[in-house]
Structure 1
Amino acid sequence: MDHVHGALTALVPLDPSTKSGLEAYDASIRQYLATLRKSAAEIQAVVLSDPEGIFKILDPAQHSIGYLHVLDILLSPSNSAPLPISSNVLLDKIVDFLLKFDHIQVRYVGPEMLALMERVAYHSNAVDEAMEVLGGAIYLYPNMAGSKENKLLCDPTLAPFSYLSAQTGLSGTVRPSMILEYDHIRGLIYTSRRDWGKAEAAFQQVISYPCKERVVSKIMVDSYKRWILIGLLRRGKAPTTPAFTSSNANSCYMTAAKHYLNVAETFGTTGAGVLKSLVEENAATWEEDGTASLMAEILSSYQKWQVLGLRDVYQRIGLARIRATTLSAETGTALEDDDAVAALLRDMMESGMLQGELEQQGDERYLLFSPDSDVVSEAEFARMIAQSHHNIRLLGRQYQLVNDRLSGSKEYVRQLVKEQKRAEKDGVDPGVGFDSQIEDEDLMAGILAHV
């Protein structure tokens, strides 16, 4: 028991400022890890027999590696025996560790740290906490060529991209399919929050991903189907694929998503009954694709977009007129009375979809559309200018960072030279045919995708 206690607390955290100090600290950490591996069976036995006693001698801020090692033993899938500690106590220990751990020490135990973070993420399902990360742009992938550092892991000046890698275990090898999955999941999350703009942008990342020949993955097709529907919800009409989308991908989309394109085409017409029948006839397809809830949103929003279309003709319109000129795709008929129209309009106003107000004149009720205006106050204009300057400066720094990293990538430079030679030989722009000339491996080696 004492031997295990001594082994777990043997590492003394330091903050060296010299090269020799860093080298000594690095060596002591590696020796500490070797001791833990050598005594693994003994440590496991003691931890499983008295976990709370072990936690009492460990400080997550001072003994981060040892503390994480204990957590890893208790959470190990190979440990089939009942937990020797209550779930609530263990959760408290995990939270305490995540709030206090030494970010230098955990660089040396990447696989264990990543496993703990993944477990917490999957079990907590804390989407709100992930939104800030999901909305950020990606400027670097782990293990990009040219991202290696000669500094020691314990060096506090080490840049994050240097230790967030497959070599340390704090990240895995990023494959093209993982990028597609990431953006697809982002789109699903934004869809669940009814943030149509961000959902559309995320799915667009997937559908426009470079592909070679006629190889279009299922996840790209699935994203395209949702992208079409979300475009209808966001602007009332089908979106247009970006110009840089592969022509082969576009051809595949047209074939694989024909039912969705039919819905999009019908959505822009006055055929509410036709749209209703089309959605009902292909209910099995929507269920299989997991888009049934989005189709319900499409039917619900059809009449709302018809109402918004009246802005182009009317500034003020009676509710009776709205009822006579718009139809519900959910029923295929007009709303039953003016009260139902008023309820629809209030719902649109509360959601921010409609800018206007209801007014009563005698026995008649009217919708007054708010006039569109691009006029802004002097203060608001100054704020917009300041924000633009800030964005430009930020973009400049980000561009410089990406340029520096790509310039140090042998694979990127080699590919660039090859493309220039091909252009000189063929007499074409090296940027043309990008999607059909660069392999996935080259993309991941140093060329950023559309992120």
Structure 2
Amino acid sequence: MDELVSKLVTFPPQPPPSSPLSDSRYDESIKHHITAVGKIGDKSLLQQTPSGASALDIINPALNTVSYVYVLLAHINAAQKGGKGLGWEKVWGRIESFLESFDARQIRYLGKEFTHIIDVALKYARSTNQGLPPVAYITPESKLSTKLKYQDVLEYFLYSGMVYIGMRKWDSALECLENAVTYPAREVSKIMVEAYKKWVLVGLLLEGKLLHLPRYTSIAASKAFHTLGKPYESVAQIFETGTAARLKSEVEAGQKIWQDDCNTGLIFNILAGYQKFQIRNLAGIYTKITIPEVNHLTTSAETGSRLQSPALAEQLVRDMIAEGSLDATLSNPPGGPAILTFMTSGLKKSEKEIEEELQASRERIQVLAAEIKRTDRMLTYDKEYLKFVQKQKKNAKNGVLDQAIAGPDLDWNALEDEDIMAGVTY
């Protein structure tokens, strides 16, 4: 064992030389050491001291990386064959220690061996403690869960909606909250009422108006929602038809309600969104409008009045365009105020959406071309068409000029009177 260890620690030299090895000298020395250690058989590398320690307990992976790799591979091979050596748990511990501390310069010479160690580590990591799907062990029998009650389902929808609200994903939040609001429970719970209050505010942020409850909402639930959610419905109605000053006053009057319901953040978003909806609604009247006019025609519900300067209105418009909530462009003509131009072609489409539309148009054109080709073929071999061609030839021989240049004249008045219902059976 002592002889083995002495061979394993010959590189790098210890103590280090006074002057570091040159690159060429280092390259020559490490290659010689790799050749020497590579000739040592696994049986020798698996030797143990009288106390049961292996070479892995003696040599330092950070210092003697080359030697440690070969000894570690010997133990891995022994563990895979079920032979003498360290058990898999100890081998795994040695692999972890090695991967955390190996010398990067030495490992460059051991690409194949290093890759093998990585593969073994990955295979072992994936083969132990495989995670079971939750439905396999979270059952009433395992005592890790109890039978779900309808309140648990409602809480799931409510909390999901709150998460999406925090992420400002209003569409997803509205869907989750609506699932809680319309849940087919026998009695209206507090969770459903809380979900309705948030649903009103989120719908207001999305559509700018108080949304109607879905038709499948129970009558009892609708009555309870309208009664208990009256302050929120009032805010929504003022947002839709009232002034900024009135909306600000309504919000300030119900400050304690919003705090108790933990909806203050949503209310602040409502105030901030009031002027944004006013700006978007200008697109129904104007195609172009100057920023000073925007500032004059809109008001902020956060202050209850117009913004202090057109510059603030311009910054608000720029923010809306940047976040994608306003489909418009902003230009700065020389010597004049900035001009807001609303897009009249609808929402901007991504390159992928445009490509999909082009492909769909291409397919429609191909179908139409095939139909035209089929129709032309039918006309070419149609009995009535052939009669017409023969008549044209006869007229040409008799010196009667035909106005048609190519193909039949499609003007019904140019044809002789005939029974156009011939061949039709009843």
Q: Normalising by the residue count of structure 2, what TM-score does the alignment of the two structures yield?
A: 0.52
TM-aligned CA deviation for residue 240 of structure 1: 1.8
Distance 1:59 1:217, change over 3 A: farther
Task: Determine which structure has more spread, i.e. the larger CA radius of gyration.
Answer: 2
CA contact (8 A) 2:292 2:310 kept: yes
Paired AA for residue 363 in structure 1: G
Distance 1:353 1:188, change over 3 A: same
Q: How does 1:367-386 map to 2 (within 5 A)?
A: 367-373=340-346, 377=354, 379-380=356-357, 382=359
Matched, 1:364 2:337: yes
Structure possessing the higher relative contact order (Cα contacts under 8 Å, 6 or more residues apart) = 1
**Could you say what the CA RMSD is over the residues aligned between the two structures, in angstroms?**
3.3
The equivalent of 1:175 in structure 2 is: 149
The equivalent of 1:70 in structure 2 is: none
Select the residue among 209, 221, 224 that pairs with 2:183. Answer: 209
TM-aligned CA deviation for residue 380 of structure 1: 4.0
Paired AA for residue 325 in structure 1: L
Paired AA for residue 176 in structure 2: A
Select the residue among 228, 240, 252 that pairs with 1:256. Answer: 228
Paired AA for residue 368 in structure 1: T
Q: Tell me how far apart the structure 1 counterparts of residues 195 and 225 of structure 2 sit (CA, whole Å).
A: 10
Q: Tell me how far apart the structure 2 counterparts of residues 58 and 280 of structure 1 sit (CA, whole Å).
A: 67
Superposed CA offset, 1:371-427 (max 9, x none): 23389645346589x9xxxxxxxxxxxxxxxxxxxxxxxxxxxxxxxxxxxxxxxxx
Q: Tell me how far apart the structure 2 counterparts of residues 383 and 101 of structure 1 sit (CA, whole Å).
A: 50
Matched, 1:307 2:279: yes
Paired AA for residue 324 in structure 1: H
TM-aligned CA deviation for residue 173 of structure 1: 1.9
Q: Tell me how far apart the structure 2 counterparts of residues 285 and 100 of structure 1 sit (CA, whole Å).
A: 55
- 4+ runs deviating over 6 angstroms: 55-60, 97-100
The equivalent of 2:198 in structure 1 is: 226
Equivalent pairs: percent with the same residue? 32
TM-aligned CA deviation for residue 364 of structure 1: 2.0
Select the residue among 256, 259, 274 that pairs with 1:284. Answer: 256
Q: Tell me how far apart the structure 2 counterparts of residues 293 and 219 of structure 1 sit (CA, whole Å).
A: 19
Distance 1:166 1:373, change over 3 A: same
Distance 1:368 1:275, change over 3 A: same
Matched, 1:196 2:223: no
Q: Tell me how far apart the structure 2 counterparts of residues 378 and 194 of structure 1 sit (CA, whole Å).
A: 29
TM-aligned CA deviation for residue 333 of structure 1: 0.5
Q: Tell me how far apart the structure 1 counterparts of residues 284 and 329 of structure 2 sit (CA, whole Å).
A: 17
Distance 1:202 1:383, change over 3 A: farther
Paired AA for residue 356 in structure 2: A
SS at match of 2:329: strand
Q: Tell me how far apart the structure 2 counterparts of residues 188 and 377 of structure 1 sit (CA, whole Å).
A: 34
TM-aligned CA deviation for residue 349 of structure 1: 1.1
Q: Tell me how far apart the structure 2 counterparts of residues 164 and 58 of structure 1 sit (CA, whole Å).
A: 33
Q: How does 1:306-385 map to 2 (within 5 A)?
A: 306-361=278-333, 362-373=335-346, 377=354, 379-380=356-357, 382=359
CA contact (8 A) 2:150 2:185 kept: no
Select the residue among 198, 202, 210 that pairs with 1:238. Answer: 210
Superposed CA offset, 1:181-212 (max 9, x none): 00111001000111111001100000000122
Paired AA for residue 229 in structure 1: L
Q: Tell me how far apart the structure 2 counterparts of residues 167 and 272 of structure 1 sit (CA, whole Å).
A: 58
TM-aligned CA deviation for residue 269 of structure 1: 1.9
Q: Tell me how far apart the structure 2 counterparts of residues 341 and 333 of structure 1 sit (CA, whole Å).
A: 12
The equivalent of 1:51 in structure 2 is: none
Q: Tell me how far apart the structure 1 counterparts of residues 91 and 214 of structure 2 sit (CA, whole Å).
A: 55
Paired AA for residue 213 in structure 2: T
Matched, 1:294 2:263: no
Matched, 1:102 2:129: yes
TM-aligned CA deviation for residue 295 of structure 1: 0.5
Where structure 1 has 5 or more consecutive residues not aligned to the other structure, the ranges are 1-54, 61-96, 108-158, 387-451
Where structure 2 has 5 or more consecutive residues not aligned to the other structure, the ranges are 1-87, 94-123, 364-426
Paired AA for residue 288 in structure 1: D
SS at match of 2:164: helix
Paired AA for residue 365 in structure 1: A
Q: Tell me how far apart the structure 1 counterparts of residues 199 and 328 of structure 2 sit (CA, whole Å).
A: 29
Distance 1:383 1:192, change over 3 A: farther
CA contact (8 A) 2:291 2:338 kept: yes
Paired AA for residue 245 in structure 1: T
Distance 1:381 1:257, change over 3 A: farther
Paired AA for residue 241 in structure 2: T
Q: Tell me how far apart the structure 1 counterparts of residues 221 and 301 of structure 2 sit (CA, whole Å).
A: 31
Q: Normalising by the residue count of structure 1, what TM-score does the alignment of the two structures yield?
A: 0.49
SS at match of 2:241: coil
TM-aligned CA deviation for residue 359 of structure 1: 1.1
Q: Tell me how far apart the structure 2 counterparts of residues 318 and 219 of structure 1 sit (CA, whole Å).
A: 47
Count residues with an aligned counterpart: 243
TM-aligned CA deviation for residue 167 of structure 1: 2.2
Superposed CA offset, 1:39-75 (max 9, x none): xxxxxxxxxxxxxxxx966989xxxxxxxxxxxxxxx
Q: Tell me how far apart the structure 1 counterparts of residues 277 and 205 of structure 2 sit (CA, whole Å).
A: 9
SS at match of 1:364: coil
Distance 1:369 1:168, change over 3 A: same
